[in-house]
């Protein structure tokens, strides 16, 4: 019996072409596309990439699954290396269409339109790296993530925190679903001593550090956010690039 972990056994058609990039190139040509795929030097049957035509995007990476015939994509913004699009599919034509749109600098929503398997992270693109806009983008990502999560308490916490102007001016990030804040954007985070946690069917809590001692608990997200604000320094301001 063939080894299911052998990429040539799971992807014989890819092996015949010699690389995932070559197989995708052939599919793209048949579909009337003009995308340029780059083969991986270390894992030619399993990985490929596509460069973007706009500088504020990284390459689109394409990876084959190890135990199921399926491929994943991941495309990031270049300032922080955070995901703009990802997703998985078993359809090489869909992969090629997503890659073409990424290469051509199509709008994120349009990439999803031409290749519906593509998931949008909620982040939007900030070509000039403006910290204020990157903060807004990260909040939109957390709101999108919260809406998709099967966790009403967490969704309520993110929305309540976003509704508070003082917190909305800070850069938000999470560690194992703990909501945290920084006075600078990635990659130079400056941690604010404030951590908010949602719990299933339990009170919300606030602490000054990740997994630290709990300062207070409250039954609603709005109440815990209000309590948290009182623990913040009054001169925080808004977040910056961290390089000033």
pLDDT tens digits, 102-138: 999 999 999 999 999 999 999 999 999 999 999 999 9
Q: What is the spatial distance between Cα 173 and Cα 114, in angstroms, rounded to a whole number?
A: 30
> What distance lies between CA 200 and its chain's CA centroid?
24
The pLDDT of residue 237 is 66
The pLDDT of residue 5 is 72
Structure tokens at 50: 């596509």
pLDDT in tens, 10-25: 999 999 999 999 999 9
Q: Which residues of 72-95 are buried (b: 16+ CB within 10 A; e: fewer)?
A: ebbbbbbbbebbbbbbbbeebebb
Contact by Cβ (8 Å): 77, 61: no
- CB neighbours of residue 133 within 10 Å: 14
H/E stretch holding 72 reads strand 71-76
The ranges assigned to domains in the chain are 7-120, 131-230
Structure tokens at 34: 């003009």
The pLDDT of residue 1 is 38
Q: What is the spatial distance between Cα 196 and Cα 177, in angstroms, rounded to a whole number?
A: 9
Q: Which residue ranges of the chain lie beneath pLDDT 50?
A: 1-2
The pLDDT of residue 233 is 78
Cβ burial of 98 (10 Å; 0-12, 13-18, 19+) is buried
The pLDDT of residue 238 is 67
Structure tokens at 213: 């001692």
């Amino acid at each position: 019996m063939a080894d299911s972990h052998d990429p040539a056994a799971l992807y014989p058609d890819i092996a015949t072409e010699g690389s995932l990039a070559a197989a995708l190139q052939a599919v793209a040509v048949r579909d009337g596309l003009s995308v340029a795929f780059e083969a991986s030097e270390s894992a030619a049957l399993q990985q490929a990439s596509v460069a973007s035509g706009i500088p504020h995007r990284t390459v689109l990476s394409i990876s084959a699954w190890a135990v199921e015939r399926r491929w994943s994509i991941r495309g990031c913004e270049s300032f922080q290396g955070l995901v703009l699009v990802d997703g998985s599919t078993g359809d090489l034509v869909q992969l090629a269409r997503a890659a073409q749109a990424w290469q051509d600098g199509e709008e994120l929503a349009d990439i999803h339109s031409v290749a519906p398997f593509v998931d949008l992270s909620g982040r939007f693109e900030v070509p000039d790296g403006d910290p204020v806009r990157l903060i807004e983008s990260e909040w939109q990502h957390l709101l999108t993530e919260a809406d998709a999560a099967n966790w009403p308490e967490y969704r309520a916490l993110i929305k309540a925190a976003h509704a508070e102007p003082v917190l909305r001016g800070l850069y938000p990030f999470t560690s194992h679903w703990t909501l945290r804040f920084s006075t600078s954007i990635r990659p130079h985070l400056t941690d604010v001593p404030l951590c908010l946690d949602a719990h299933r069917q339990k009170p919300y809590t606030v602490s000054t550090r990740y997994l630290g001692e709990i300062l207070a608990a409250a039954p609603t997200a709005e109440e815990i956010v209000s309590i948290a604000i009182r623990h913040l320094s009054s001169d925080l301001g808004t977040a910056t690039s961290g390089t000033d």
